[in-house]
Homo-oligomer: A and B are copies of this chain.
Amino acid sequence: MRNDNWWCGRFRGCGYKVTVPREAILEVLSLTDKHLSAEDIYLAVHKKYPAIGLTTVYRTLDILVSIGLIYKFDFGDGRARFELAEDSKGKKHHHHLICTKCGRIIDYTDFIDDEFELLQLVEKGLSKKYNFKISGHLIQFCGLCDKCR
């Protein structure tokens, strides 16, 4: 049993093995503040471990999303993008502001408390009315950034 990172417990607890590719992928994700695509991650991982294939990156990302360690987003550019879930490491909960022209993404934390309060209210109301078990939300704004407007 190898060197224990903070996420190893969660990983093994879900019945998954801790492997070199998985460690490498999580390392890439935890060292960036960008919203990486599967290929971005593949290229980054590839520098240190050229043997790791793109297929494994996709498979690992699927697992990470399913156990809640990362989030998957669609910002409208035809590829999925990923980021570490905020509760895992020192990350703050945030939402996104997307420039529809250049694709720039801004993570904002302003008004998060006000948003959270409303989300609580709405989640409660919706889960009662529709008998849904709500597990997450997505809030984002789009428009033109300062350079593109």
**A interface, CB within 8 angstroms of B:** 72, 74, 76, 97, 99-100, 106, 108, 110-111, 114-115, 118, 121-123, 125-127, 129-146, 149
A111 lies within 8 A of B136 (CB): no
Contact (Cβ within 8 A) B135 A149: no
Cβ contact of A118, chosen from B118, B129, B135, B140, cutoff 8 A: B118
Name A143's closest neighbour in chain B (CB-CB): B134
Contact B138 A140 (CB under 8 A): yes
Q: Is the CB of A123 within 8 A of B141?
A: yes
- Contacts A111-B122, A121-B114, A122-B111 given: A142-B131 contact, CB under 8 Å? no
How many copies of this protein are present in the complex? 2
Q: Whose C-beta in chain B lies nearest to the C-beta of A100?
A: B135
The residue on B at minimum CB distance from A142 is B136
- In the assembled complex, the Cα of A115 lies from the Cα of B125 at a distance in Å of 13
B122, A114: Cβ atoms closer than 8 Å: yes
Query: Min CB distance, A127 to chain B, in Å?
Result: 7
CB-defined contacts of A133 to chain B, threshold 8 Å? 143-144, 149
